[in-house]
Structure formats: C-alpha cells, structure tokens
Structure 1
C-alpha cells in the first residue's frame, strides 16, 4: 500500500533488508532490498539530505515523490512508500531486474527494427499518459528507461513537471544530448521536448549512438541547437517508415514535431507483422534468424576509446570503460554527477 506521507516514525531498515547497491550517483544510491515480511524485492533510492541542502534540490525530490505517487501505468516504475530521517530520504520503488535501456544496448547490441517498434510503443504509451495529465518528463533518455520482463518502464521523475500549455516552461534542464533545441536556445518550450527525446532514444537503440554526439559538450549544444544530424551509413538496413518517424520526432520546429498521438498513429507503429519476433525484454540472445555480421563503432573521449558493438550477436561487447561510454554519450555533466542523481537544472528553476 502506498503511503501518503513520509514515514518519519520508522526507519526503512525496520521493514527492509538492504543487500546490494545497484547504482550510485553524487546525491543518491539505488539499492536492492527485500521486504522482511513479504520477502518481495524492491529498489530503494536513498537520497543523502546533506547533498540536497538547498530549496531547489529539495523541491526536485518532493516533485518526484508527488508525481510518482500519482502515476499508475504499466510502463512507469511503480512507487510504494517513502521514509525520511534526519540523514536521508528513501523512496521504495518497483524493482526492475534487467537494468536500464542504455546497459541493455551496450551489453547485447542494438535492437532490430521490430524490437525497436515494441520498445517505442511502450515509451509512447507512458508519455501519452503523462501528456494527457499535463505532465512533462523533461529528462527522457536510455538511462532513465528500465527494461522489464514485459516492456520498458519510465523512471527518474526528478525533473518532471505539471505545466500549462498556454504558458509553457523556460527552465534549462535535462541532458544535453537528449534535450530539445528550444531548451538549449533558452526559448519557451512545451511537452514537445519529450518527443524530441523519444527521437534521440529511437535513433540510439537502432544505431548504437545518439544523433547528437561529440567529445566537446559545447559542440553537442551547438548541434542540438541547430538541429544538425544525419543518418549513419548503416541506415540503409532500416525501413523508410522508421526513418520518417525519426525525422518527425527530430523536427527542429516544435510546432511541426510529432506529438505523441501523431507518433502512435504513424504507419511504422500501426503496421502489423504476422511473423513472431524475439522480445528484447525476455531473451537476451537473438535467434539465428536475427543475427547479423558483427560491426562496431569506436567512440573516443579525452584520448581514450571505447568500442560499442552495433549488431545483434550473443558475443559480449568489448568495452574498456562502460562508465566512460555512458558519460561520452551524454555529457561531462553526466560524468560528474553519475546517472542516478538529479540531472542538470539551472539555478533559476521556477517554471
């Protein structure tokens, strides 16, 4: 049962056995825990209050709790209760055992087009749920999408916000490689920023890298601000329909960009295929019919290099430093704060 208020009387350790740290960031850690009575497994996000010692950061945490409490959708991570002590705030969340979408691509290779379609259907469904309730996520990216046994689940609502369509929002927030140009250009923006992020995610799971990538963070800002991107050389292997979907999502003009309802009605989503396809969520090794000749791309960062396989193969991905790859695909801000802490947000937050 979900608690309406923080549980200030009991400690989270009274009800849960915390066993493993499954992720760490600058401000928080995510742990695996087992409920002592029911023996059910949960994920507990432990936020160090010493690190959220200003009103803006505390407000972000309160917003995340408030929004998660109100969300009830199969493709949004479920929130159960919150404990607060003098030292920390503990959010008890649904445990999704297969990690995030970024790690799934890094470890197993890019998705087939059909697997990508299944993934985006789940993401679009969750985004539609949010947008219908005047909610914007504002930090959609592979690291904030968890891979469940039956589909993906949106997580990390620290920057999510209720908004008025007539007013819009102005705060600079998000992760540069996935943020819409109107955010980078300091313009008033609306829920279309989530659709831009969806386009970046679709590009990433198909091609193994985001459409806007550079070692120089300022260069990423410039590329996004100008909307400068191209399909990679191997894009001839995907259909014209999925390319049209990506173009619609990465439309520089937000008034012309696909809405979530337009995307869900697009022919790439609504097409039917009678042949059975392997699920990207249940089995990690593709069937022989979907295996392809291994290919790789190499990304460099400050003189070091990492290699990411971009084919469907059961062989492990040759990676020197997975954390380096994760940061190079996002920004130096990500490298500094870690993937599980509140994303970059301007100090003028208030919209």
Structure 2
C-alpha cells in the first residue's frame, strides 16, 4: 500500500490577539495497484473496473486512489488472485473461480451450474452465510474479498456445428470456466480455462474447437462470431456470476474505516450498475449477430437433463472429498431449499 506518497500537511496559522498557531493534518492519500482480469475495452466487465476506481476516487475526495492495470501488465490475467495471495500485488479485479486451484470450493463464490438467479445468489451471499464462508476461506490465504460485480445468465457456448445430443460433445476441445468445465469434462469435452484475450486466437489456430465466455455483448466484442456460428443458450453453467475486488488482507486492515466503507459502498454501486446494464445490452447484440449469420440455439431439454445430472454427481463427489466444499455446498443448498417456498408462490415460472 502506497500511503503518504502524495500526502500533505495543511498548516493553518492563527495569529491574532496572542493566540498560539495550530496545525491540522489532512488525510494522507492511499494508492493501490490493481490487476484486472478483463481489458477495459470489454463491455460491462472491463468498463466496471474503471467505474469502480472513479467512484472510489470521487467518494474519497481523492484520498483513496486505485490504479487499474490492463490484463497481463502486472501479472498474467489468470494469476491475478493468486498474486494477491502471494503478496506480489495489492489488489485484483476478478472472480473467485480464478482462485479455485487453491481450493475447488472457491468456485461456489463465482458461479454454480444450474444455480440461482442474481437476486437469490445475492440473498444467500449476504443473508444466508455465503459471504462469511468466503471471507473465512480467503483470509486463510491473506486475501480480503469484496463482492463487486454481478452479471445475468451467460450464453453457454459457441460451436462450429449444431449439437443434437451429448454424443456430439465428445472429443470437442473447448474453453470453459469453473465448475461448468467439470460438467463438460464428464460428458467427454476437453476443457481449458483461458483468459478472454487468448480465446479467439486459440480457436483460429485450431487449438480449440469451441468456446464459452460470457454475455452476448461481451462475446460479440471478442469476435467469436467470425469463426463459430452456432451460439447456445441458456447459460446453465452460470445463471448468475459474481465478481470481487480482492485486496491483500494486511493492506485492507491498514486502511481507515472510512476508506473501507467507501470501497464497500462503491462495489455495491458497481453491482447494481452491472446487473442493470447486463440485462439491457444483450438483445441488441444478439440481433446484430443473427443478422451476420449466427444461429441462436436453445439446448434441448434432454441435453439439459444430462448436464444437470452430471453436475449433481460432481457436487456430491466434491463434497465427499473436500470439507470446505461440503460446508459451502451445504449452506448454499439449505438456503436454496428454503428459498423454494418464496420462489414458488411469488414468481411467474
């Protein structure tokens, strides 16, 4: 943490009627370097990091400055959360799935196959014990996580040909993220987790046959429609996706309570904006890609059933082999089970 690099002492001399001069100290400026997993040119995910740093600077009156760096400038993009844990950088804008190499349970704080909508996911996180579990786990690695972004259901993949059955998935080499990748592997897909800037080249040079990434507006910007024409929905693997601001725990603990509150508040604003923007921007991107020849497809019910069965089996195995996953999955599942009564009676299904 760069504290006092631009700090000043504002001295006010009061000299009148024999009064002694006094000196008041201004709040020192705190500066942090933040690695971003997503380029600023990317809609929603990339622009959100810039929105975050601007909000924090404005709300703190310039006393808290976060310098956002493009992917791969401070550290390799997929390594950003690990770099915070290792003390190589102070902060990162990313998702918990990028930290799952340390513990598969971190995936549960990023996205869950056949998981909840945005509202239900946030409800579990803030009022169902999810955030407490996440912070306990991250603290063991010297990281403080602040929920700082959320997007609606993603698309679930770009393919060179129509997929009529799960047999058509066998042997496909595909970029896939998080727990959804384990589901695809169960059905015979060879998966890789690549950073967004690496995906198109991997498809073009034949390293990958297919890919998923995110929302249509972001996929469109990455150029997948130039090489792949079958675009599948719904995003069974990521019905809602969380993103965090990660700050080294010792750096976070040194920050003033005022600065901590500003960061938490700014992240809440970013979540709201990303949710609204994510819902507003997709139909136009889909229409534009359709006009360019992209075939929009919805997964047949039979394939979705097989995907969900594979996920439930994976979740049981993960819980049996990983105590942290078992704790998190139990909390998540209990909340969802109780939420069903509200969902059933209150929402049009």
TM-score w.r.t. length of structure 1: 0.25
- Point out which structure has higher relative CO (alpha carbons under 8 A, 6+ apart): 2
TM-score w.r.t. length of structure 2: 0.25
* Larger Rg over CA atoms: 2
